[in-house]
Amino acid sequence: DAGVIQSPRHEVTEMGQEVTLRCKPISGHNSLFWYRQTMMRGLELLIYFNNNVPIDDSGMPEDRFSAKMPNASFSTLKIQPSEPRDSAVYFCASRQGDSPLHFGNGTRLTVT
């Protein structure tokens, strides 16, 4: 079991650029979550999918953020255009049914 795989681990980009974060959930898991972690706000749920369908995207900050899950083994979180306040660690997590969440190691995003 390779766990939840996120790429890239680190991303540095300039304000205004498009950023795409990627996640491969654990095989067989049917729910996928995107969280954002900052010192000021802690862990915030951005969006989550169940069986590839978005269930709750109320945490997505604004229209600049979008997430997709085209199949059970891949999801993306896109920010366009990026802003310095988007700098954070973005985590993807997955689970099967009611099992505990398994987190990836995160993508540290820095927007200058």
Partner 1 sequence: AQSVAQPEDQVNVAEGNPLTVKCTYSVSGNPYLFWYVQYPNRGLQFLLKYITGDNLVKGSYGFEAEFNKSQTSFHLKKPSALVSDSALYFCAVRDTGQGNLIFGKGTKLSVKP
- The type of residue at 92 is C
Q: Give CA–CA dist 40/98, Å, rounded.
A: 30
Residue with Cβ nearer partner 1 (45 or 72): 45
Residue with Cβ nearer partner 1 (65 or 91): 91
Q: Alpha carbon 94 to chain centroid distance?
A: 11
Q: Give CA–CA dist 106/109, Å, rounded.
A: 9
Residue bearing tokens 């009611």:
98
Q: How far is the CB of 14 from partner 1 (least distance, A)?
A: 24
Residue with Cβ nearer partner 1 (15 or 55): 55
SS3 64: coil
Residue with Cβ nearer partner 1 (80 or 105): 105
Q: How far is the CB of 43 from partner 1 (least distance, A)?
A: 4
Please tell me whether the peptide bond between 61 and the residue prior to it is cis, using omega within 30 degrees of 0. no
The site for partner 1 (CB under 8 A) is made up of: 4, 31, 33, 42-43, 45, 48, 50, 55-56, 91, 93, 100-106
Q: How far is the CB of 81 from partner 1 (least distance, A)?
A: 27
